Amino acid sequence: MPADVIAPPITHARFAIGDVVRHRSFEFRGIVFDVDPVFANTEEWYESIPESARPAKDQPFYHLLAENAESSYIAYVSQQNLMHDDSEEPVEHPGISGLFDGYRDGRYQLRREHRH
């Protein structure tokens, strides 16, 4: 590669589909159901995050079936803001049965029809 060409950052997804994760700063947890190798949401969504908390775009972002004490929802979260949830507690989300068919060894098993 020529010296004046900057190689894209090498990103490695720390979490896999079915992993249970929790947010580092906010009180919610969820199940990974999709992974984007780099930011792939709208610019409007990105700009809605306060600048002081805005994550870098050149890292994996995760789609989560998320829950907090009040509700269940879909979340889109950068890798830097997630960590493994070691509670061994299942996640309560109405979308689980459509994507996953079991909870074993601390992670959800993707339904056969959704596997590639």
pLDDT, tens digit (0-9, with 9 covering 90-100), for 76-90:
999 999 999 999 888
Domain assignment of residue 31, given as a range = 20-114
**1 in a structural domain:** no
| Cα–Cα distance for residue pair 50/47, rounded to 1 Å | 7
**60 in a structural domain:** yes
**91 in a structural domain:** yes
**5 in a structural domain:** no
Q: How many domains does the chain have?
A: 1
**3 in a structural domain:** no
Mean pLDDT (the chain, rounded): 91
| Cα–Cα distance for residue pair 116/113, rounded to 1 Å | 8
**10 in a structural domain:** no
State if pTM tops 0.85: yes
The answer to whether 24 and 62 are in contact (CB under 8 A) is: no
**39 in a structural domain:** yes
Is the pLDDT at 114 greater than 70? The verdict is: yes
